[in-house]
Structure 1
């Protein structure tokens, strides 16, 4: 998912932007070879356009030390022309990247970005990401989105500098439990300790007791969640972390 806010598509197009994310686990004794191989691969095959790729390093939780390879955003139709075996793409990955990964690597997911629920108030450069995953109950995604809309309105009016994106898993599973992701983009680690007094801001917009009710409503549509910290690795990526926020129509 994760991680450009907007994808320029024709106004008449019904397509939307998605991200392809692959969780990669390097052999701990061959990390330098893995990083060398994935850097060269991204520079050669994923350096621009819809196939541009970024790499992130996970710094907490069960996936600590793993890498996320993220391509996009792209419309689904673009996958029909993605780099393939004929251009040497597959051989390069198989010969120069895959040999330095463990057998557990390869978990892949596709995430749809929801611009209408996200906040990208200005251009920015990706550095650190807080990725909050939520397990949404079956048939409750629409209800969850309505609650996110309420939160988004508070940020739009009361905390306008915050930058975050909302994404949903295109192929979610009840086993994995990662259906909706909130990705907050930040520069300094001190951001993690700040108190932005969101409850007060929420109640100033929706009334006394509304924040407690929001919590009850959120727990009614979700079965918990988990959080990860990702660090952008520009040295391993095919494209930079610069994000130009498109004008909304």
Structure 2
């Protein structure tokens, strides 16, 4: 029964994932530095990543959380990678483990959170090369057994932004594991200047221009029926702490 319930819960997401050929996975570890050891924590993270995590499939990008209840925490994000590569990239030697324990973990609080996110190429837009800098994180809590309805919502939202703002870059991701924390789906906007945050929100106007006059109220009802809520955060890419270059290559939707 437990296996059946899990299958029923994940089936719509698995169906969407199978439409593409193994979309990339990202393993995100949210860490909190010891308040008296922040400088040592950053130095340890930087040295560790630049020694052990500079290339695929184990390259790491580090982000600093700049808003919300997680402000001041760091996200250690490994990827793009895959489940097929996970055994190899996680098979660390003793030197790696000792370096992590001595220079990173020893300067952080014990509590951390690890999540695994699969990119959803169908609803992402990586139409040009760009470098990571600022990220707007929009996380959605999808209601149980409403994944197919949520997929329909995503189709409509994607069409709006692809039509009205095609040069803007964004990625969409589904949590690979079930949870009760409201972390089922995330839409990530990548932007260069903070002024982007102050631009007028034209989504309602754009939605009706794309889908027809009077359609936005129905869209809101569909969102309410399929989700429990959402929350947002701002992340800042820390190239000085990362093993990655921060460069993101363009790719077509569906790849």
Tell whether the structures are fold-level matches, with TM greater than 0.5: yes
- The residue aligned with 2:213 is 208
Instruction: Write out aligned runs for 1:90-169 (5 A).
Output: 90-104=97-111, 106-169=112-175
- The residue aligned with 2:82 is 75
Instruction: Write out aligned runs for 1:1-249 (5 A).
Output: 14-86=21-93, 88-104=95-111, 106-174=112-180, 176-247=181-252
Following superposition, the deviation at residue 40 of structure 1 comes to 0.8
Higher helix share: 2
Relative to structure 1, the CA distance from residue 198 to residue 217 in structure 2 (aligned partners, 3 Å threshold; closer, same or farther) is: same
Following superposition, the deviation at residue 85 of structure 1 comes to 3.8
TM-score of the pair, normalised by structure 1: 0.90
Contact 2:126–2:251 (CA under 8 A) maintained in structure 1 = no
Contact 2:126–2:249 (CA under 8 A) maintained in structure 1 = no
Q: Residues 7-48 of structure 1, C-alpha deviation per residue, up to 9 Å, x if partnerless? A: xxxxxx953311000000000110010001011110111001
Following superposition, the deviation at residue 87 of structure 1 comes to 5.3
- In the alignment, the residues of structure 2 paired with residue 142 and residue 107 of structure 1 have an alpha-carbon distance, to the nearest angstrom, of 28
Q: Secondary structure in 1 aligned to 2:57?
A: helix
Relative to structure 1, the CA distance from residue 83 to residue 76 in structure 2 (aligned partners, 3 Å threshold; closer, same or farther) is: closer
- In the alignment, the residues of structure 1 paired with residue 188 and residue 106 of structure 2 have an alpha-carbon distance, to the nearest angstrom, of 31
Following superposition, the deviation at residue 73 of structure 1 comes to 1.2
Contact 2:127–2:252 (CA under 8 A) maintained in structure 1 = no
Gaps in structure 2 of 5+ consecutive residues: 1-19
Deviates more, 1:86-95 or 1:147-156: 86-95
Following superposition, the deviation at residue 83 of structure 1 comes to 4.9
Paired residues, number: 235
Deviates more, 1:155-164 or 1:72-81: 155-164
Q: Residues 97-133 of structure 1, C-alpha deviation per residue, up to 9 Å, x if partnerless? A: 00000122x2100000011111122111110000011
- In the alignment, the residues of structure 2 paired with residue 239 and residue 140 of structure 1 have an alpha-carbon distance, to the nearest angstrom, of 36
Gaps in structure 1 of 5+ consecutive residues: 1-12
Q: Secondary structure in 1 aligned to 2:116?
A: strand
Contact 2:23–2:121 (CA under 8 A) maintained in structure 1 = no
Following superposition, the deviation at residue 86 of structure 1 comes to 2.3
